Structure formats: C-alpha cells, structure tokens
A and B are shown apart, each in its own frame.
Chain A
Amino acid sequence: MNTIYILWLRQLKRTIRSKSRIIGSLGQPLLFLVALGFGLGPMFQKAGGGNYIEFLAPGIMAMSILFTAIFSGIEIIWDRQFGFLKETLVAPVPRLQIMIGRTLGGATVATIQGIIIFLITLLVGFRPASWAMLPMALVFVILIALLFTALGTAIASVLEDFHGFQLIMNFLVMPLFFLSGALFPLDNLPSVLAIIVKVDPLSFGVDGLRGSLTGLSQFGLSLDLTVLTILTALLMVIGSWLFSKIEA
C-alpha cells in the first residue's frame, strides 16, 4: 500500500514542481475555447445550436483531461529507458502496485487539470446549468482521467520507443478526440462516422460531462456512467497485464 501511495505522491510532486508544464498544458485548451468559442459561436447560435461556449466548455475540459492522461501514461516509454521506471521494475514490489500507483497519480493530475480548465471556462462566461450537479461532473472527470491514463499506460507498455508514439497520437488520440462530440454535436453524421462515435469511449465521457454541466445529454447520464465504468475497469485490467509483461 505504501508503494502505491509513494508512487502516486511522486506523480503529483513532479507536476506541481513543473510550473511551465502546467501553464503550457493549459494553453491549447484555452486557445480552442476562446478561438472556437468566440469564432464559431455566432454561427452555431444562428444554426439553432444555442450558446456555443456552453456546448464547448465540457468538450474542452474533456480535451485537456484526455491529453494530460494519455501523456502521463506515455511518459512510461521515456521512463523505461532513462528513468525511474527501471528502478521500480527491479524492486521487490508487485508490478500491479507500481501500475496502480502511477495510474492513480496520472489520473489525479489529469483530474486537477480538468478542474482548472473548468475554472477557466467560468472566467470566459460559462455557467453550469445546476451547481448541484457538480459532484456528478467530477465523477465523469475522474472516470475520463482514469480511463485514458490506463490506456496511455497500456499503449506505453507495448511500445519500446517513440516511433510508434507519432502514429498513436495521430491515428488514435486525435480521432478519439475529434469524434467524441467535444467540439460539435453528434447528430446527423454520415454512417461511418456515426459508428466510430459509438465506439469512442470519450463520446460517453463528453456526453456525461456535458449532461452534468449543462443538462444536455444525448445518450443519457446512466448509460454514460455505465459504459465509462466498465471500460475504465477493463482498461485498468488490460493496462496492468501489459505493464506486468514489460521486460526492461
């Protein structure tokens, strides 16, 4: 247990101590929020979609959580050769504990990131439909964070260097994000895209987050919650199994 705690704490310390990384990772979501929000806002409203900032805010939160989470999982690739991971692989501790410590740590960092973005959206003019639903929103933030940290860990356990990383970023992470309903509503999509959307775990996360924060949910909060919980549990199992197979 001590092991899990200290590895969790380590992830937190690393993030808090790197001010430039924190501020840097806020840049992209902020840019999207402001540029798209105020740029496409008027058009969205005219097309009958309502307030775009309101629609976009949960999507941008999900965006920052997604990227932070995947990155902390992927950090393993670097750590594997140059860092700290080797120290943990050689230590008399079960791999499972190492994986859980790292994943919880990474997910915590991604969650904090999501909360910070939420506060920023408040600055830009977003208001949640119901403050009472905030705890539910937090649940979704945590689930998204856990799911994608576990996914990042699973991927990183299989890749040995950064070459595959580019492929993963462009052909997995970006599509996951763009086809999740974070930036635009998911109705009336051509059938191929519609299928991908159903299969994209982030869609349920975004929908759940949006549902808790604005009351607009396409799939229904209980479906979102169920799907996310099952997928997160599944990925954590797969992630730990792959992680335990690492031969440094």
Chain B
Amino acid sequence: MPSIISVDNLSKTYPGSKTPAVDGVSFEVEQGDVFAFLGPNGAGKTTTIKILTTLLHPSSGTVRINGHDPQHDQDAARRSFGIVFQDPSLDDELTAIENMDIHGVLYHVPKELGRKRTEELLKVVELWDRRNDYVKQFSGGMKRRLEIARGLLHHPKVLFLDEPTIGLDPQTRNHLWSYVDRLNKEEGITVFLTTHYMEEAEKVARHIAVIDHGKIVGQGTSKELQEQTKTATLEEAFLALTGHEIREEEAGALDQMRMHRRMFTRR
C-alpha cells in the first residue's frame, strides 16, 4: 500500500532554543493504516503533529500528506486531513449542526452534499437527535464524538486524533474506538493517533512509532516492539524504550489555561 503520510529526516528547533524539539525523525504511514504515535511528554510528539497539520513550519526535512507538502502546499494538505485536537475546538454557543455547517463552508463542501454527509456522520456517532442542541450542553464524550464527525465531513484521507479518549469513561472510549474502527475499515480512512493509554494503542493500532527526546526510538507493530525489547506488553516495551524516569516538565501557559477552563466551565 502506498504511504499516505511520509516524514523524512524532519527536524525542528524552536527559535531561542538550543536543542531541537524534533531531530531527524523519519517514518511512513501506509494508506488505510491505524498508526499510533507514542512518546512521553516533551518528546516531540506535539511538534511533529503540528508540522504535519500545517500549524508549524519545519526547520528541515520533508513531509508529505497525501502527496502534498504541508508547508508549501498548505490548502491541498489541509483538505487531505481532518483533526480532533486534544482540547475541544467546537463553538459551544452554536448547535451541533451549526458547527458541522461552518466546517462545510470552511472546507468548501457544497451545501447539499454537506447536509447529507452531516446526517450520515451524526448518525454514525449517535448524535443526530441532538443536532439542534447547543454544544455547551454536551458532555466531554459527546463533544469528542461531534468533533470526529466534523473532522470527517470533507471526507479526508487521514484523520488525526490527538489524545482522543483522555478524560472519557470506558463506555464512551469503547464507542469512540468502534466508530473509528468502522470508519477505518469501511471507508479506508487512515487514522493517526497519539495517546498515553497503551492498552488502547495496543488494541487499535496496527503500526506504532515511539518518539523520545526528538528522535524515533522504536517502530513497527506492537509484537515487533515487544520482541525488540523482550517485553510482554506494549506498555512495558514503551517503558523499556523511553526509560522509567518521570519527565521534568514546566507548567506552561497552556496548563494554566486548562486549569482555568476546568474552574470556569461546568463540564
């Protein structure tokens, strides 16, 4: 199967920093795959994803999404993927269907087609009968489901999921993965996900790459990684590849804002 995402010797050093956040990372994702991108906090995961999703420019290296360069062929790259961010990016004061409509306009989906797909997708994620409710009334799980539906409205080839099940209860998590699985098998959508939940990654992902300190430290199927590290589960393999130490992190502005959000919103 051809690669739908290819990353070759990607590097990124943030201005003002001496060490690269991403250092010569290379990997390929086959079309139709479910690919898990794992790594400890601060490993370079988020930076890589931002580069893949046109939100950041690389310092060097080549990236292709569906054959397009996210840096120089931005719009074509953007049309090729949908993304569910770690923090919600819905408009709470609009209804579910209004959020879908705006996405349709932003992605140049013709109105009629958009309406039809909206109905299909909302039914897949079981939100069709809540379509006229304000998103602020939705639970975390419902919002995540809506974001998945929205991310697929323009029928992209790739769906990026950044920590999609964080904070969700087991039933919702289970449902979410079953939708994603269905969309992957029936529509052939490539799924690129990051998560800290190793059991989930093990269950859902077919191929895995582990990044640490800006470099890829392991790649392959879960079994291959376990064989490589002589361990019995993906979690143990991950710990073997990245070490057992807790990563020193500074609470950034983002963490503070997340705290604020938790204090000031009801859900």
A positions within 8 Å CB-CB of B: 2-3, 6-7, 10, 13-14, 17-18, 78, 81-93, 160-163, 247-248
Q: Are B91's CB and A14's CB within 8 A?
A: yes
Q: Are A87's CB and B106's CB within 8 A?
A: yes
**In the assembly, what is the distance between CA of A160 and CA of B78, in Å?**
24
Among the 9-residue stretches B28-36, B171-179, B252-260, the one with 4 or more Cβ atoms under 8 Å from chain A is: B252-260
Q: Are B53's CB and A90's CB within 8 A?
A: yes
CB distance from A73 to the nearest CB of B (A): 17
Q: Which residues of B contact A81 (CB under 8 A)?
A: 87, 254, 257
Closest to B85 in A: A86
Q: Which residues of A contact B260 (CB under 8 A)?
A: 162
**In the assembly, what is the distance between CA of A125 and CA of B223, in Å?**
80
Taking chain A's interface residues, is the majority helix, strand, or loop, or is none over half, making it mixed?
helix
Name the residue in B93, B98, B134, B150 with the highest tally of chain A Cβ atoms < 10 Å from its Cβ. Answer: B93
**Interface residue B41 (Cβ < 8 Å from any Cβ of A):** no
Q: Which residues of A contact B253 (CB under 8 A)?
A: 160-161, 163
Closest to A82 in B: B87
**In the assembly, what is the distance between CA of A5 and CA of B88, in Å?**
23
CB distance from B16 to the nearest CB of A (A): 14
Q: Are A17's CB and B93's CB within 8 A?
A: yes
- Interface band, chain B: 35 or more
**In the assembly, what is the distance between CA of A24 and CA of B183, in Å?**
45
**In the assembly, what is the distance between CA of A73 and CA of B185, in Å?**
43
Q: What 6 A-B pairs have minimum CB-CB distances, sorted nearest first?
A: A161-B253, A92-B75, A91-B106, A92-B78, A86-B89, A84-B91
Report B123-148 CB contacts with A as 1/0, cut-off 8 Å: 00000000000100000000000000
Q: Are B91's CB and A83's CB within 8 A?
A: yes
Q: Are A6's CB and B93's CB within 8 A?
A: no
**In the assembly, what is the distance between CA of A124 and CA of B93, in Å?**
33
Q: Are B55's CB and A10's CB within 8 A?
A: no
**Interface residue B102 (Cβ < 8 Å from any Cβ of A):** yes
**In the assembly, what is the distance between CA of A61 and CA of B101, in Å?**
35
**In the assembly, what is the distance between CA of A82 and CA of B215, in Å?**
29
Q: Which of B57, B87, B107, B256 sits near A91, CB closer than 8 Å? A: B107
CB distance from A75 to the nearest CB of B (A): 12
12 contacts between A and B (CB under 8 A): A10-B102, A17-B134, A18-B93, A78-B257, A82-B87, A84-B91, A91-B106, A92-B106, A247-B56, A247-B57, A248-B50, A248-B55
Q: Are A14's CB and B75's CB within 8 A?
A: no
Q: Which residues of B contact A10 (CB under 8 A)?
A: 91, 94, 102
Q: Are B93's CB and A14's CB within 8 A?
A: yes
Interface residues of B in 46-65 (CB under 8 A from A): 50, 53-57
Interface residues of B in 64-92 (CB under 8 A from A): 74-76, 78-79, 83, 85, 87-92
Q: Are A91's CB and B85's CB within 8 A?
A: no
Q: Are A6's CB and B105's CB within 8 A?
A: yes
